[in-house]
Amino acid sequence: MAELQQEAQENVKPEKIDPKFKYEVMKHPGAEKIQMCFQCGTCTADCAIARFSDFYKPRKIARIVQLGLKNRLLGNPMLWLCTTCFTCVDHCPQGVEVSSIVRALRNMSVGNMNEMPFIYKVFASNVLKTGYVYLMPESRLKRRGAEGLPPLPKSNVEHVTKLFEATGFLETLENASTFKNVNLKTGDQDG
Amino acid sequence: MADLEYLFFLGCLIPYRLASYEVSARKVLNKLGVKLVEMPDFNCCGFPIGPVNFDLALSLAARDLCLAEQKNLNILTLCNGCFGTLNDANKILKEDEELRDRINSYLQQVGMEFKGTVTVKHIVHVLTEDVGSEKLKEQVKKPLTGLRVAQHTGCHLVRPASHVGHGDNPEDPHVLKELIRLTGAECVEYTDETECCGNPIIGVNEDLPFEIAKEKLDHVKAAGAQALITVCPACHMMYDFNQPRIERAFNTSFRIPVLHYTQLLGLAMGFSPEDLRLNELRVKPTELLSQIQ
């Protein structure tokens, strides 16, 4: 992020602007109304995260999309700070689903830059392997019986794998590099 | 569809970490005449996949919805995340024809088709809308009179309001409060009741969710609540499992027990603390239990 900020001046030169970027974003479900954002800042004022972070400001994200400054957003680690509480979606007077725009940008970052937070790679790999987000320890599965709970059904891993393949995410997942943390002080990745 | 019969979507976090929620929910639902049909070979709702590939998340959710459609049963979840994700997928796939066609083209690979014939409900909706307050009142055999608790409804049960439906007010949620009052306990108000637990980003930054959760626990403590009541395993993990770590990080002490609503209701229905696995909570509700016994 620090680097990205240094680059900011250079980035706003016309040749760095991608006028079609907002249309790419708008193709994603929920991100259709990005152009309706008139920068009132309600999303940022009411954001659970923005008050703790100098880098995660939903109003700015919306503006950068509108301006087409693609390189300042895609791959920017601060995108991963949204908790998806959806307060911004409920409060936006223009009906913009700000949180869905962040999701679109995360999806595009993963797709274009081939990079995602480590935890998401772990979760996705677990789902691929077992159908569940967590690898259930054998002891816990056994304890279910003792607790009078029915066995946890085996997920249909074959189906899950086919869905990973069909959506093209299997390849993305295999090749994706990862980072561990988003540093709140610098807005950059750690680890 | 028979009344009060649902396909039970357990999700991942509950069997992994929070048997206390599952056990207590099954006990109270059974006593209330709610029939849970076990869900065969379900998969993750798609919640942690949405951020990396929304098409895949929708496909995973749609596969679960298809399983319910095949059984002609509505889904019941205990988790806000599973509810939000499945309900959202159900809504947008019903409304967006182009997107539905695309997701159905993926589902074709596994011999399934999303039709949009079932509804997704969280246990809170089943208790309020289907079981109803009259039936709940009848089953409250040991009212928790004198107990003062606070509620944390959580985000994905009520937001985004346009996607969720079910009539709660996300700015001032009242549904869980009413459910708490039915147990005879008092539901105290506190500052910033709608604040997010922060759990979804704990994997990329721990400090921030801890700070947010600390604020919540500060407010709950200031209101004089003897316990915090949750209806989501992720929120519960944040306030119960992580509470000692938050106390250490901020050099403070809360000792606020965090109960699943089904445990609170279970106590009021006359189940024992052991039946409801209250011993599995990280912050032991010793004082609370001695008061009600």
Residue B129, in any domain of the structure: no
Task: Please check whether residues B177 and B280 belong to one and the same domain.
Answer: yes
Nearest by CB to A124, from B52, B203, B209: name it: B52
Q: How confident is the model at residue A9 (pLDDT cuts 50, 70, 90)?
A: low
Phi, psi (rounded to 5 degrees) for B121: -130, 145
Q: Which CATH architecture has domain A2-114?
A: Orthogonal Bundle (1.10)
Q: What is the pLDDT of residue A12?
A: 67
Interface of B with A in 125-164 (CB under 8 A): 155-156, 159-162
Residue B120 has pLDDT above 70, yes or no: yes
* B13, B43, B208 ranked by CB distance to A49: nearest: B208
CB B167 within 8 A of CB B122: no
B146 and B268 belong to one structural domain: yes
- Whether B172 and B238 map to the same domain: the answer is yes
Does residue B249 lie within any of the structural domains? Answer: yes
Q: What is the ipTM of this complex?
A: 0.96
pLDDT tens per residue, range B246-262: 999 999 999 999 999 99
- Residue B58 and residue B145 in one domain: no
Percent of chain A whose pLDDT exceeds 70: 94
- What span, in angstroms and rounded, lies between the C-alpha atoms of B224 and B56? 45
Count other Cβ atoms within 10 Å, centred on residue A93: 10
Task: Report the CATH number at residue B282.
Answer: 3.40.50.11810
Tally the domains of chain B. Answer: 2
pLDDT of B27 higher than 50: yes
> Quick one: pLDDT at residue A8?
60
Q: Using a CB–CB cutoff of 8 Å, tell me whether B272 touches chain A.
A: no
Q: What is the pLDDT of residue B1?
A: 41
Q: Are A81 and B156 a contacting pair at CB < 8 A?
A: no
User: Does residue B164 sit in the same domain as residue B277?
Assistant: yes
Q: Indicate whether B140 belongs to any domain.
A: yes
Q: Which is higher by pLDDT, A146 or B137?
A: B137
Q: Is B249 on the interface with A (CB under 8 A)?
A: no
Neighbours of B61 (CB within 10 A): 29
Helix axes B54-71, A98-113, angle to 10 degrees: 110
Q: Do A106 and B15 touch (CB under 8 A)?
A: no
B176 is a domain residue: yes
Residues B225 and B98 occupy one common structural domain: no
Closest CA of chain A from B197, distance in Å: 9
- Helix, coil or strand: residue B60: helix
Query: Nearest by CB to B15, which of A83, A136, A164?
Result: A136
Average of per-residue pLDDT values in chain B: 97
Residue at which a domain ends, from B123, B154, B189: B123
- Report if residue B62 sits inside a domain: yes
Record: contact B53-A172, CB cut-off 8 A: yes
Tell me the CA end-to-end span of chain A in Å, nearest whole number. 14
Cα dihedral B135, B137, B140, B142, rounded to 10, equals: -160
- Given a cut of 90, is residue A147 above it in pLDDT? no
Inter-residue contact B198 to B213 (CB < 8 Å)? yes
Can you give the pLDDT at residue A5?
A: 57
Give the separation between CA B34 and CA B275, rounded to whole angstroms.
Answer: 18
pLDDT in tens, B126-169: 999 999 999 999 999 999 999 999 999 999 999 999 999 898 99
Q: Name the more confident of B262 and A189.
A: B262
Report d(CA B6, CA B74) in Å as an integer. Answer: 5
Give the closest-approach CA distance of A181 to chain B in angstroms: 5
| A78 to chain B: closest CA residue | B204
Give the residue from chain B lying closest to A170, CA to CA. Answer: B56
Distance CA B20, CA A188 (A): 38
Alpha-carbon distance B6 to nearest alpha carbon in chain A (angstroms): 16
Residues 27-46 (B) with a CB less than 8 A from some CB of A = 38-44
Separation in Å, CA of A1 to nearest CA in chain B: 15
Q: How many CB atoms lie within 10 A of CB B159?
A: 28
Same domain (yes/no): B275, B221:
yes
Classify residue B130: in a domain, yes or no: no
Phi/psi for A94 (5° steps) reads: -100, 0
Is the predicted pLDDT of residue A15 greater than 90, yes or no?
A: no
Choosing from B101, B123, B145, the residue where a domain stops is B123
**HEC string for chain A:** CHHHHHHHHHHCCHHHCCCCHHHHHHCCCCCCCHHHCCCCCHHHHCCCCHHHCCCCCHHHHHHHHHHCCHHHHCCCHHHHHCCCCCHHHHHCCCCCCHHHHHHHHHHHHHHHHCEEEHHHHHHHHHHHHHCCCCCCCHHHHHHHHHCCCCCCCCCCHHHHHHHHHHCCHHHHHHHCEEECEECCCCCCEEC
> With contacts defined as CB-CB under 8 Å, which chain B residues touch A85?
155, 159, 196
Q: Rounded to whole angstroms, how far apart are CA atoms B30 and B32?
A: 5
Q: Where in chain A is the domain with CATH 1.10.1060?
A: 2-114
Q: Is residue B181 domain-shared with residue B106, that is, in the same domain?
A: no
Mean pLDDT of A133-161: 94
Q: Domain of B44: which CATH number?
A: 1.20.1050.140
Domain range for B41 is 5-123
Same-domain check for residues B113 and B22 = yes
Inspect the interface and report whether the beta carbons of B53 and A110 lie closer than 8 Å: yes
pLDDT of B43-99, one tens digit each? 999 999 999 999 999 999 999 999 999 999 999 999 999 999 999 999 999 999 999
Give the count of Cβ contacts less than 8 A between chain A and B.
185
- Please indicate, yes or no, if residue B217 is contained in any of the structural domains: yes
B73 and B191 inside one domain: no
The last residue of one of the domains, among B102, B123, B144, is B123
Examine residue B68 and state whether it is found in any structural domain, yes or no: yes
Across the interface, of A89, A117, A183, the residue whose CB is closest to B203 is A117
Please list, in sequence order, all residues whose beta carbon lies within 8 angstroms of the beta carbon of residue A82, skipping any fewer than 6 positions away: A49, A56, A58, A99, A102, A103, B201
From chain B residues 72-91, the ones with a CB under 8 A of any chain A CB are none
Asked whether the beta carbons of residue B23 and residue A86 sit closer than 8 angstroms, the reply is no
Using an 8 Å Cβ cutoff, are A164 and A104 in contact? no
CA A60 from centroid of its chain's CA atoms: 16
Same domain as B281, residue B144: yes
Average pLDDT over residues B215-241: 98
The answer to whether residues B164 and B279 belong to one domain is yes
